[in-house]
Amino acid sequence: MKILGVDPGTATTGWAILSSKTPAVSDQPEKKKKSAPNGLALNLESYGCIVTEPGEEMPKRLLILNRSLRKIIKEKRPDCLSLERIFFGANSKTAITVGQARGVIMLTAAAEKVPVFEYQGLQVKQHLTKYGRASKIDVQKAVIKILNIKKIDTPEDQNGKLRKAFLDDSVDAIALAIFHTLR
């Protein structure tokens, strides 16, 4: 199964493609192969971020998100999309703009016939780190451990530009894809 994890936003949307499979006995090397907690072999295929400029009009930013996500879906062909369900207490402006991004993401997935599954950030953090209010660094450490990788490199945006400042968005997208697989 191939999962597209998406951390929504109008300024930055993180995304990740994770594949999972049940390893065959013949796939196991002589040393015990590390697998995810549920026994699945997880492979982080790709990840990145979709970045829009703050000075752009909102319709243009949403169009960039739509076109970039559609390109990812067409190229990577995920079986489903794991999307963060955002909870905002008092910040209604942020809630509205993230809600607009989520709407574009869901519409794009529906147009490409990709089912969408939504999860609260708290439940993802709780499952991966055992603490629902885990820090970004704790989530990153958990993702690295679960995937059995050394580190997560700086993500690229939709134009191929390295975007170190948006590593957390990509890590959150990876965490969403892992959570969907392990839940």
Q: Catalytic site residues?
A: 7, 84, 169
What is the Cα–Cα distance from 127 to 67, expressed in whole angstroms? 32
Residue 65, CA distances (Å) to 28, 90, 111, 116, 124 in order:
40, 25, 14, 16, 24
Do the annotations mark residue 84 as ligand-binding?
yes
169 marked as part of a ligand binding site: yes
List of residues 6+ apart from 22 with CB closer than 8 A: 39, 40, 41
The two most distant CA atoms of the chain are separated, in Å, by 56
- The Cα–Cα gap between 110 and 126 comes to 28
Binding residues: 7, 84, 169
Binding residues for Mg(2+): 7, 84, 169
